[in-house]
Amino acid sequence: MLLYKFRSLENLEFVLDIIINERLYCARYKDLNDPFEGQLLHATENIKMPGLLGPTTIRTTKERRLITADDISPVFEPKRVCSLSRTANDVRMWSLYADSHKGVAIEIDLDIDHDPGVVAALRAVTYTKTLSERGGIIGIYDEDNLLTIKTDHWRYEDEYRLLWHEPLFSITGCVKRLVFGPRADQSRIDLLRKMVPKHIEFVQAKLDYDDVTVVFPSGESK
């Protein structure tokens, strides 16, 4: 599966760390840019019994409170998250995550069928209209599920996530291409050509003014 990691070219060491060291950094969910990450509303119903001198009716009240990944994993630190995108054609992705089209989308081909690490870690993000609300016992909640639910505001990202317990996730042999934004500085592209392995392809994206999108030749995916 082809996925993309967007990066600015202002700090080339971060780009080179992915390419040369063949690894991705996984952040704590609290450090991601969405303040609603790793949270849901937990709903409980409380039945209030009448006292000896109170009314004779029984009242049921519904209470809601936030549950976070920390609540679900109280003993161990919650899993870390590395965000990737299934698309590199959305204008907003280049604007937000690739230095206003001056950066790069690193094309990564993950073996979703045979690599045990990828099979265990990779999850598609589910998008919902509102913050997820659930009832029941907190202990039955699934941490992986909680960390892969986002609101519809982010649907354009078409996101997949690596959920990992360590800060770094190995992607040995997975980097295939560097897709540079339409505004990328040629001197930085030339510098990277001298530094990265020769088998990695270089592609320059263009703006499609008819469909208002970012285009480049498609790659092959497993």
3-state secondary structure 173-211: CCEEEEEECCCCCHHHHHHHHHHCCCCCEEEECEEECCC
The amino acid occupying position 74 is P
Q: What is the CA radius of gyration of the chain?
A: 22
The whole-angstrom separation of Cα 170 and Cα 82 is 12
Q: What is the mean pLDDT of residues 19-46?
A: 85
Q: What is the pTM of this model?
A: 0.84
Task: Name the band, by pLDDT with cuts 50, 70 and 90, for residue 68.
Answer: confident
Strand-pairing partners, residue 149, are 126
The whole-angstrom separation of Cα 202 and Cα 219 is 12
**The two three-digit tokens of residue 136, written as one number:** 């029941």
Nearest to 215 by CA among 91, 103, 100: 91
Quick check: helix, strand or coil at residue 73? coil
Q: What is the mean pLDDT of residues 141-147?
A: 81
Nearest to 186 by CA among 202, 208, 198: 202
Question: Tell me: the pLDDT tens digits for 163-214?
Answer: 999 999 999 999 999 999 999 999 999 999 999 999 999 999 999 999 999 9
Strand-pairing partners, residue 134, are 42
- Tracing tokens 């698309």 back to the chain, one arrives at 87
Q: What is the mean pLDDT of residues 4-15?
A: 96
Task: Name the band, by pLDDT with cuts 50, 70 and 90, for residue 53.
Answer: low
Question: Tell me: the pLDDT tens digits for 20-29?
Answer: 999 999 999 8
Lateral strand order in the sheet of 80-85: 122-124, 159-164, 80-85, 2-7, 104-109, 175-180, 201-204
Question: Tell me: the pLDDT tens digits for 84-124?
Answer: 999 999 999 999 999 999 999 999 999 998 899 999 999 99
Quick check: helix, strand or coil at residue 33? coil
The whole-angstrom separation of Cα 15 and Cα 27 is 16
Selection from 70-79, 145-154, 186-195 with the highest mean pLDDT:
186-195
Nearest to 10 by CA among 106, 99, 83: 99
Judge whether 102 and 179 are in contact, CB under 8 Å: no
